[in-house]
Structure 1
Amino acid sequence: MPYPPCLVSFRLAVLKYFLLLCFLITGATLQAHANDQTLVESVQQFLYQHSQALGQEVVIDISAPSPHLPACISPEPFFPNANQTPIGRVSVGVRCGESRQQVRYIQAQIDVIGSYAVASQDIERGTLITSDMLSQREGNLGDLAAQALTDQNDIIGMVTQRPVRSGSTFQAHYLQAPHLVERGQRVTVIAEGAGFRVSREGEALANGVQGERIRVRFDTREIVTARIIAQGLLMVDF
């Protein structure tokens, strides 16, 4: 039995409505996916630019953006902490929109495969570190402690403040620059300016490292503050 014309028209109208609804939903879904893809790619590129020089291989895993947030137009990634090292678990801020007033945060895991320095022997406290005390290892730099020094140039010439066991990494807060001046040492203090240069000998009243300012007492009992520029040599800054 054929359907009445009015019923056929009604069914066609309903079908068209659902097809249109499906089309709109699909279009919105695709647009949202495209926006999320742009956001992820922007963060990926940002993190790679900041981490590629840290090792031979970089692997970046970015958490999916929240589907409940509005689209991020023209994403501009940044580090919330300017001193943040792009290794391990990091948080990336993203400014969105032309006004850049909308900000969201994306979590990411950065694994950097590279070489790092470790102690090749047991090193006692107060030891001046030399190159023969170090060896190189390969691994994920993200697994190292936050204060670990990976470049041997940042380690050689430093003095250990506590024992370092063989195979251990070097922590920045465990090392100190060597004293170029010792308390009680006879030192030379230089003062110079336009057309003059004067030097005097005195007694250092404190230990000091390169660039540190300490007090020096002259034989006249006069005391000045000067900056250490070399072994036993200081400069008065005007």
Structure 2
Amino acid sequence: MMCFTNAQANDDNLVQQVHQFLYQETQTLGEEVVIDLSPPSPHLPDCINPEPFLPNANQAPLGRVSVGVRCGDGNRQVRYLQAQVDVIGNYVVAARDIERGTLITSEMLNERGGNLGELSAQALTSEEDIIGKIAQRPIRSGNAFLSHYLQAPHLIERGQRVTVIAQGPAFRVSREGEALENGALGERVRVRFGSREIMTARVTNEGVLVVDF
């Protein structure tokens, strides 16, 4: 009886830790959060000192999600729990039909309320992630914006003469080169100097890249 009680207590603690983790990850996304967490398998050993994490840290945990949990000394054991996460809040949709190649502005957006958990995992819910991007395909009025529908505008064009700034704690020098590929803000692109030397640099402005040392 004692073994059953300890096992039940460990499972309850695991579920509580994962539930709290998901709530912390989603509470800023909307007005109401509903989390339905599937119980851990009774056939698995106890999870000591559980540390939840998201396998895809770049994606908001909405809809049907998998949550990883590191267990035991040194977090050497890893298991996964399934959850349904529904968040009632606002998200952004197209206010009109948007053609491919259009630069997105605030006038093209509308706000709509609903269950964010029913959106595609690729849906962008914040205006900050949409305005200033370029539509890579037509977007119809009332549709949500998906991340692969949009692209940041190129500040560097392939074949363009660019300025590359090399900087460190005590120096800053610049030289001119030729971009070997297109690049948006923050992206890393290859630049050629002369006939042989090639360096990768980070796009910081129109026609300007930086290499940090």
Q: Which residue of 1 aligns with 2:65?
A: 90
CA shift digits 1:91-138 (9 cap, x unpaired): 334455668666554322110111111110111101111111111111
Q: Indicate if the aligned counterparts of 2:32 and 2:89 stay in contact, CA closer than 8 A.
A: yes
> Does 2:46 correspond to 1:72?
yes
Report 1:165-176 matches (<5 A).
165-176=140-151
Residue type of the alignment partner of 2:93: V
Q: Which residue of 1 aligns with 2:86?
A: 111
Q: Indicate if the aligned counterparts of 1:181 and 1:209 stay in contact, CA closer than 8 A.
A: yes
Q: Which residue of 2 aligns with 1:213?
A: 189
**How much identity, in percent, do the aligned residues show?**
56
Report 1:19-168 matches (<5 A).
34-66=9-41, 68-69=42-43, 72=46, 74=48, 76-79=50-53, 81-83=55-57, 85-94=60-69, 104-168=79-143
Q: Which residue of 2 aligns with 1:180?
A: 155
Q: C-alpha root-mean-square deviation of aligned residues, in Å?
A: 3.6
Q: Indicate if the aligned counterparts of 1:42 and 1:75 stay in contact, CA closer than 8 A.
A: no
Residue type of the alignment partner of 1:43: V
Q: Indicate if the aligned counterparts of 2:19 and 2:37 stay in contact, CA closer than 8 A.
A: yes
- Which structure is higher in RCO with an 8 Å CA cutoff and minimum separation 6? 2
The alpha carbon displacement at 1:48 in A equals 1.2
TM-score norm. by structure 1 comes to 0.69
Q: Which has the higher helix share?
A: 1
Q: Which has the higher strand share?
A: 2
Q: Indicate if the aligned counterparts of 1:189 and 1:226 stay in contact, CA closer than 8 A.
A: no
Q: Which residue of 2 aligns with 1:7?
A: none
Unaligned runs of 5+ in 1: 1-23
Query: Given the superposition, is the C-alpha separation of residues 105 and 222 from structure 1 closer, same or farther in structure 2, using an over 3 Å criterion?
Result: closer
Residue type of the alignment partner of 2:67: V
3-state secondary structure, aligned to 1:138:
strand
**Stretch deviating more after TM superposition (80-89 or 131-140):** 80-89
The alpha carbon displacement at 1:79 in A equals 2.9
Residue type of the alignment partner of 1:79: F
Residue type of the alignment partner of 1:61: D
Residue type of the alignment partner of 1:117: V
3-state secondary structure, aligned to 1:156:
coil
